[in-house]
Amino acid sequence: MTDATLKPKSVDGTEEHGAEKSRPEKASTVEAAPPPDAIEPNPDLTPEEAEQARKRYLLRRFWISARRYWSSSGDRLAWPCSIGLLAMICMNVGFQYGINRWNRGIFDAIERHDAGTVYYLSAVFVPLVLGSVALVTAQVYVRMMIQRRWRSWLTAVVIARWLANGRYYQLNLIGGDHTNPEARISEDLRIATEAPVDFIAGVISAFLSASTFIVVLWTIGGALTLPVAGMTITIPGFLVVTAVLYAVITSTVIAIIGRHFVQVSEVKNQVEAELRYTLTRVRENGESIALLGGEEEERNDLDKTFSNVLKQWALLARQHMRTTFVSHGSMLIAPVVPLLLCAPKFLAGGMTLGEVMQAASAFAIVQTAFGWLVDNYPRLADWNACARRIASLMTSLDGLERAEQSDALRRIKHGETQGNAILNLNDLSVSLDDGTAVVKETQVEIAPGERVLVAGESGSGKSTLVRAIAGLWPWGHGSVDFHADRRLFMLPQRPYIPSGTLRRAVAYPRAADSWTAEEVKAALAKVGLDYLNEKIEEDAPWDQILSGGEKQRLAFARLLLHHPDIIVLDEATSALDEKSQDRMMETLIEEMPTVTIISVAHRAELEAFHSRKITLERRKGGAKLVSDIDLGPRKARRSLIMRVLDNRR
């Protein structure tokens, strides 16, 4: 959870005008349609059948979003590039046929010792090669442009949905197969958009090549007559029959020995993602691990995770070895087969040398076309795994979006207050996504300028209540109503420090140049961080450099710059000593005397800076509000004590 400036939301959950949030234009138009209906598991299916049904649904779910790239709300260059790629594939097959005919002509001329024809065909070969090379190069450019633009478009769609309405945070609170969303968006989505373009282009090219050169083989080879036991057997189109049988045998063998490729590749991608996640957690929590001396335990965990990676790589290597054995053997045998088949007719004078070489070339092209799927089976398996992983994330986002649009699951409403109140909690109950109550039937009205302290024992739901107020926790019922055109700013216990300069960290979530350097320095000085003023333009890992107390001070400096109307403090001073805590609260009240403050804290000293205290008590069936008292007199006594101490100092 991070500190951020939020606008109050309307009853239906949409952002009010003027909100400081934005989303990609393309993504917002694409995802205007409701998410696809979820498929409930069939109880009559066996676990294996249910898993297969789930995988089929995930692939279909991926295409539901991915194919919109070619819709009216997709990329304007999607269809022109696709049609251009198809045209270039067809032209390239034409060049292949031209080179195949050139083979026949050059070898026939060599057989006849026709020097003039040899020289002429040698000159013709240059433009054929140059044209084919230029065409293939252009084809690669267009193909990769489609992949790049498709990935960019779909990434924008997924990220927009992931960031919308705090779903990136809510995913941590619900069950489902959506762990490591950052790896799914960056790596799995890349493979999921690159591979289909290669597959479709490859299949079209293979189909056109096979169709064209099967005709060539049928025309050149003709029929083969063989004497068998005193009889003659005629095989029409024997070269075509041989090519098809050869391809069927090799493809069948590959399919049999590689039938587990998809499953092994999927598990390999999963354990790779788990290793990346584990390494990231070690880096992000390096200070805590170092202070606790947990290197050995982390090493054991990393070794265990990496062992799973090596195990899956070993299984994948075996699959590659088996398929390579067949595919490489087929590649060596394929050029020899047509020569052996054509040799009897050539020796009998039924075929010229040029026709033999043309047949050999055509046979090799047909085998390459038929064997394309076999050669690309590992990539197909990898794509299956990656498409399912990104679809799993989409499915979880679908569930959150469906819950936002449906009345089946009770959700907290957000609206506008009536009268002078700046914030109302109307019969607010907060629950988990499965309906388990956390906080029940809270009724609170907060006036502008009030400073309210939310207290209660650990586990009573204080932080959950605060998240519901901020709009980050959707489950429950009742409503949270804000005064119109009021901004809310939340400070969590662990402030978020973005990468980049210190100036950017203070200005976040606005841009670093939203305030002048002098204004940023003044804010830092007010919270006791003036010794960092000379470093505000320094780009450094400030999240690692600053201590917990310094981060919380920086968050208060951020508050002073943004100057919101409502502030929610969730243990925002827990890393500060009492004196520093008092200074932060005094500075906050002095700089923004009319601001409304809602605090969650355990320290009794904070009561002096609040005018009101509400207490939550954990009970069976959910915590309830048990007291709501005025802290005015206590605050006055605290202020008197502080003035006496100041005079003594």
- pLDDT confidence of residue 401: 82
Q: Please give the Cα distance from 546 to 495 (Å, whole number).
A: 11
Complete edge-to-edge strand list for the sheet that includes strand 451-455: 5-6, 488-491, 566-570, 596-600, 451-455, 612-617, 624-630
- pLDDT confidence of residue 196: 92
591, two tokens: 């700089």
- pLDDT confidence of residue 41: 65
Its pTM surpasses 0.95: no
- pLDDT confidence of residue 465: 81
Helix (H, G, I), strand (E, B) or coil at 649: coil
Beta-carbon contacts of 274 under 8 Å, excluding residues fewer than 6 positions away, are 179, 180, 305, 308
- pLDDT confidence of residue 632: 61
- pLDDT confidence of residue 454: 86
Q: Please give the Cα distance from 27 to 29 (Å, whole number).
A: 5
- pLDDT confidence of residue 40: 65
Contact, 62 vs 192, CB < 8 A?
yes
514, two tokens: 């939203």
- pLDDT confidence of residue 456: 79
- pLDDT confidence of residue 535: 92
- pLDDT confidence of residue 189: 92
User: What are phi and psi for residue 56, nearest 5 degrees?
Assistant: -65, -40
All residue ranges of the chain with pLDDT < 50 are 1-32, 634-645, 648-649
- pLDDT confidence of residue 38: 63
How many helices (H) and strands (E) the chain has is answered by 22, 13
| Cα–Cα distance list, 111 to 4, 217, 566 (Å) | 81, 21, 93
310, two tokens: 């090596």
The DSSP line for 491-523 is: E-SS----SSBHHHHHHTTS-GGGS-HHHHHHH
Beta-carbon contacts of 158 under 8 Å, excluding residues fewer than 6 positions away, are 65, 185, 189, 390, 393, 394, 397
